Copies of this chain bind each other. A is one copy, B any other.
Amino acid sequence: MCARDANSRFSGGEFQSPALERLVRCFGRLPGLGRKSATRVALHLIADPQTGADLVDAVREAADRVRHCSRCGAITEADPCAICSEPRRDATLLCVVASPIDILPFEKAGFYRGRYFVLGGLLSPLDGVRADDLPFARLATRVEQDEVTELILALDASVEGETTALYIQRLVERHGLRLTRLATGIPVGGALAYTDEATLQRAFEYRRQY
């Protein structure tokens, strides 16, 4: 992958530098960057070597230090993570999220005092993500050990999110806990006129007594 091609010679449409072409290919493999944006970034690094050196340091430091919490799967440098180590957080409330990044909006809002469990993905038969690929066994153990009373599913409102929610429902039904899901509806401040049909239908379906 993005290896240096020893035999590469200058050809029109490419830079006269295999090293720069390799750099462009490397950046082009990152999510969200195409050839154009990768070229822009690579030329920026050539023009500003300090930024390149900083980037190299940061990638290496992150590779050395960053790990996943062995209890909840959050990204952390200490294991267990700060949230799992905080005794004042309610261990009987467990919020299940797909990715470590999904913890951020909860912690920013600051209203939630329970703990988390990161699945690291969602069930997706089409993409080849099956139940064996996700830590459901660890989730079941955690529910039992921490005597969880409420499991909050904070999963995407997508087909994969629904499938995963259904699987977890079956997984924990014998535990007799309260299983909840985040509400689906019109966002706060969202304009009704610009709400997509699926969201509107859900918001109608789950309408509350006023």
Contact = CB atoms under 8 A, between A and B. Distances in A.
Contacts of A107: 12-13
Given A29-B51, A44-B30, A52-B62, A81 B22 contact: no
Nearest to A3: B54
A20 interface: yes
Q: Which of A61, A81, A83 has the most CB of B within 10 A?
A: A61
Given A62-B19, A62-B23, A82 B41 contact: no
B66 A2 contact: no
Contact of A108 (B13, B16, B58, B61): B13
A117 interface: no
Counting every copy of the chain, the complex holds 2
Given A19-B61, A52-B62, A108 B12 contact: yes
Contacts of A43: 75, 99-101
Nearest to A25: B58
A59 interface: yes
Contact of A30 (B19, B41, B65): B41
A108 to B, nearest CB: 3
A59 B56 contact: yes
Contacts of A29: 51
B77 A16 contact: yes
Q: Which of A44, A54, A78 has the most CB of B within 10 A?
A: A54
A109 B12 contact: yes
Contacts of A50: 1
Given A51-B30, A109-B12, A17 B63 contact: no
A23 B54 CA distance: 9
Nearest to A77: B17
